[in-house]
Amino acid sequence: MALINNDEIRDFVEKNIQTFHDKRLEKLRALQLKTVLHRKNPYLFRAKNLTVAADLVKSLLDAFLSSQEEESFGHFLEELAIFVCQRVYGGRKSTLVGIDLEFEREDIYYIVSIKSGPSWGNSDQINRMLSNFDSLITLLQEQHSTIIAVNGCCYGRDTKPYKIGKLKMNRSVVKEIPYYKFCGQEFWSFVSGIDSMYVDIVEPMGYQAKLKNDAFWKAYSQILNRFTIEFSQQFCTADGSIDWEHLVALSSARIPT
């Protein structure tokens, strides 16, 4: 086990958090109104009784950006975890399907699937992870005597980390797959050997945050104003009401053949 110091963590975070902010701004500036309208459920916003075009556009835009940012920031945290584990345990980014990180510690070989938080998937997605664990443990058994599968979550809690997953192989066969689910502090301690790692990474994430956010919110205001004008022109009636039938048809009507 090697040691990693706060300067190394700070350098990595400050360098890569800028990439996150830059991509966030770049995606915002490239966004088109119809992309947002196609991706979000129009029935939900009708049920919320949104009647002002500006309010509807803002709700749609915010929901779209939130899901994009969660995914993008999740990739950043995954890369940070791999970097820390590489420095401490010689871990490496995995090339195996469905696995993000591999490393060996005290004669145990770990295969790790990294997610942002604990509530990350539906039953089919979890079953896919279990299937990946099962296949890879079988593949690696000739090289390593003890292999442990881990679902690592960058934030959250799970007070019962040892799991027995039920892998559905077909309608009648279920195979038990043991694995660990480490969340939040437990996950960061697992990849770094440092119990305080989950808080050590917080401070450097604020590097140039105000400067980056000022640029983002300036662009956001411009996009919101432009989208509101476009929406009013395309999806409002002559009296200013939202044309819900036209809006729903945009994302849900059958495509003519």
Identify whether residues 76 and 122 lie together within a single domain: no
Tell me whether residue 123 is in a domain: yes
Residue 1 clears pLDDT 70, i.e. is over it: no
**153 in the same domain as 69:** no
Q: Give the structural domain span for 167.
A: 91-207
Instruction: Tell me the sheet residues that pair with 60.
Output: none
- 103 and 63 within one domain: no
DSSP 180-249: EEEETHHHHHHHHS-TTHHHHTTGGGGTTHHHHHHHHHHHHHHHHHHHHHHHHHHHB-TTS-B-HHHHHH
> Each residue of 131-174: pLDDT tens digit?
999 999 999 998 999 999 999 999 999 999 999 999 988 777 78
Are 114 and 197 contained in the same domain?
yes
Cα 11 → chain centroid: 23
- Asked if residue 230 and residue 194 are part of one domain, the reply reads no
- For residue 11, is it within any domain? no
What are 177-206's pLDDT values in tens digits? 999 999 999 999 999 999 999 998 888 877
Asked whether the predicted pLDDT for residue 242 surpasses 80, the reply is yes
Statement to judge: residues 55 and 106 lie in one domain: no
Does residue 1 sit within a domain?
Answer: no
CB 114 within 8 A of CB 148: no
Domain total for the chain? 2
The pLDDT of residue 42 is above 90: no
Supply the CATH number for residue 171's domain.
Answer: 3.40.1560.10
In this structure, is residue 231 part of a structural domain?
A: yes
Is the same domain home to 99 and 200? yes
CATH code of the domain in which 61 resides: 1.10.3250.10
Half-sphere exposure of 26 (CA within 13 A, CB side): 7
Residue 36 has pLDDT above 80, yes or no: yes
Over residues 90-143, the pLDDT tens digits come to 999 998 888 999 999 999 999 999 998 898 889 899 999 999 999 999 999 989
Q: State whether 28 and 103 are in the same domain.
A: no
